[in-house]
Amino acid sequence: MSDVTNKPFSEIKEADLSNYFDRLAKGGLTAATTARKLSAFRQFYNFLYEEGLVAENPTTHIESPKRGRPLPRVLSEDDVNRLLDEVAARAAKKPDVRNLRLVALVELLYATGLRVSELVSLPLAAATGERDFIIVKGKGGRERMVPLTNAARVAIAQYLDMLKAEGVYTDSRWLFPSRSKQGYLTRIRAFQLIKDVAAAAGLDARKISTHVLRHAFATHLLANGADLRAVQQLLGHADISTTQIYTHVLEDRLRRLVTEKHPLSKK
């Protein structure tokens, strides 16, 4: 206890510990590490109190530090292009339903920012015709309109043409039909496919998932000048504070850029 105060543990008060944790925070200790230290103190004093060695637990009214929300992993635009190039190369080499479906999956994930659960469960009617957008039913049954890029429209059309040509799943009402219980591609299978593509593209598959492509969609839009409210609507976030996490990603990237690249940062 000498690193906290010179007092014996039985004489330590709440103010002593509060000052100690304030010093830790000002010294740059992370909120997570500080919270673990506070938890250890709580358990220690709970034991002392139960054993009758102290009259009260001085940690009772000390609040745990708020942990910042972790920033989402984001792919660079070059990384996304590597994924797109990989699926395009597969389809060019062997233009079957499996590979054309993969192109459509990756193009749609990045072009729309859909949650993978929203993507795999898209009805066929949502993406057919000449429309430049799709209607998505998201969390809470809320519907939103999401524009499609030309590349995504082309990928969908080529994939559906091949489905028809091969005569498979002709009676399915889903855009990505499968033999699963639900009748469409599962979230797990979509996750596995993206991992496989990432590894083949020479990327770290451990850091890439279907949701990371959603993060990339949002961050790249904001980085190129998109309005935060518009991105909120496209992502289907009920609260704009959820969308604001992507502005923190950009701030963090800019901060690291200055720290690592600015000549004065080396002094």
Query: Is residue 23 classed exposed, middle or buried when 0-12, 13-18 and 19+ CB atoms within 10 A define those classes?
Result: exposed
Distances (CA, A) of 208 to 166, 196, 202, 242, 265: 31, 10, 12, 21, 31
Buried residues in 154-193 as b, exposed as e (16+ CB within 10 A) = ebbebbbebbeeeeebeeeebbbbbeeeeebbbbeebbeb
Is 255 noted as a catalytic residue in this protein?
no
- Cα dihedral sign, 57-58-63-68: negative
The Cα–Cα gap between 106 and 28 comes to 40
Among the listed residues 153, 214, 215, 220, the single catalytic one is 214
- The yes-or-no answer on residue 69 being catalytic is no
| Set 90, 101, 115, 215: catalytic member | 115
- Which residue of the set 139, 248, 255, 256 is catalytic? 139
- Give me the residues paired with residue 193 across strands: none
Q: Do 160 and 172 contact (CB within 8 A), yes or no?
A: no
81 within 8 A of 41, measured Cβ to Cβ: no
Whether 139 is a known active-site residue: answer yes
- In the annotation, is 237 catalytic? yes
With CA atoms as reference, report the closest residue to 83 among 196, 161, 183: 196
- Active-site pick, 189, 195, 211, 253: 211
Q: Which of 153, 215, 220, 237 is catalytic?
A: 237
C-alpha torsion sign, points 72, 77, 82, 87: positive
Residues recognised as catalytic: 115, 139, 211, 214, 237, 246
